Amino acid sequence: MTIVSNDPSWWPVINSNIFFTCWLVAAGVVVVYDWVLTLGQEIELIWRQRWSLMTVLYLVIRYIGIPYSVISAYSNMPPVSVTDAVSNIMNYVINLTNVVVAAMLGVIMISRLYAMYQRSWMMLLFLVIICLAVNIACGAIAVIALEHVDAQLLTSMVWMLNTTWEVLVLCLSVCVAVKHFRDLRRLGPSTGSITGDCFRVLIQSHVLYFASFAGVSCIQLGLLSPGVLKSQSMGAQIINGAFQVFLSVQMFVLGPRLILSVRECHAKLVARFDAETSMNSFFFEERVHVSTSSTV
């Protein structure tokens, strides 16, 4: 419903919405900028490779971020007037996208841990059960939150569940990485250099992802406090706007980069293996040629 009023008391609210919209636009610009930066890698490592579940997850997460940013900015733009029905649809789309992307990021984490634990079915079953429980609970809470005007507690519950899941995944990653590097130290540096490089890439990218998620979670929990939530101060507005940028980065930038980092590492290892194989073949053929010539 469109409300026209010349009451000066509304001016701080309007200015706050305009300021918040600018941050949403900035979040969309960051998503598009990262897509442009990684477009070459995407073409080489995604489009030109055999399609798999990770390919589908990458494309969905990467390309759903742009319309998500547009809808978020449009729904909060003060000069734009929309009906209540359209506003409700936008809110449903935004919340549904948050739940779906969180579930997809969980699938990426499960696939990474499944590979790190040497395709252990027990670990896969454990992770799937925990991830399903967390995402079903978050989805149910998100649906309930849409029906309530004051949903601070419900929103904080969603973030606490997601944070618990991320902490669990990080602990499992660190445990298997520590065990693996101890085995490499015991067996010698020449043993398992390829898998060591893969583990190093997995751990580095995962720690970066978790650090971003932890930062976003802390900001979100801080924004849910009554003093910050109802404040119109410049500091509160900056924190709220920065949260939107960090959230977009965590959802639509770091997720695809997790897949790109692993595929890039795998491509380099394959190229190194092919180079070593061709070099060994060259020396073998040269040695056979020399020995044959000496016998004649």
pLDDT at res. 276: 57
Instruction: Write down the H helix ranges in 188-229.
Output: 193-223, 226-229
Residue pointed to by tokens 């949403």: 24
pLDDT at res. 140: 84
pTM, to two decimals: 0.78
Residue pointed to by tokens 């298997």: 176
Query: Residue-wise pLDDT tens for the chain (296 aa)?
Result: 445 556 666 666 677 778 888 898 999 999 999 999 999 999 999 998 889 989 999 999 999 998 998 888 887 776 666 677 777 788 888 888 888 898 898 898 888 888 878 888 999 999 999 999 998 988 888 777 766 655 666 777 887 888 888 888 888 888 887 887 787 777 655 545 555 666 677 677 777 777 777 777 777 777 777 666 667 677 778 888 888 888 898 889 988 988 888 888 778 777 776 665 654 554 445 444 444 443 33
pLDDT at res. 37: 93
The percent of the chain in helix, strand and coil, each rounded to the nearest 5, is: 85, 0, 15
Cβ atoms within 10 Å of 141's Cβ, excluding its own? 19
pLDDT at res. 268: 76
Structure-derived torsion over alpha carbons of residues 98, 102, 104, 106, reported in degrees to the nearest 10: 180
pLDDT at res. 296: 36
pLDDT at res. 277: 60
CA-based diameter of the chain, in Å?
105
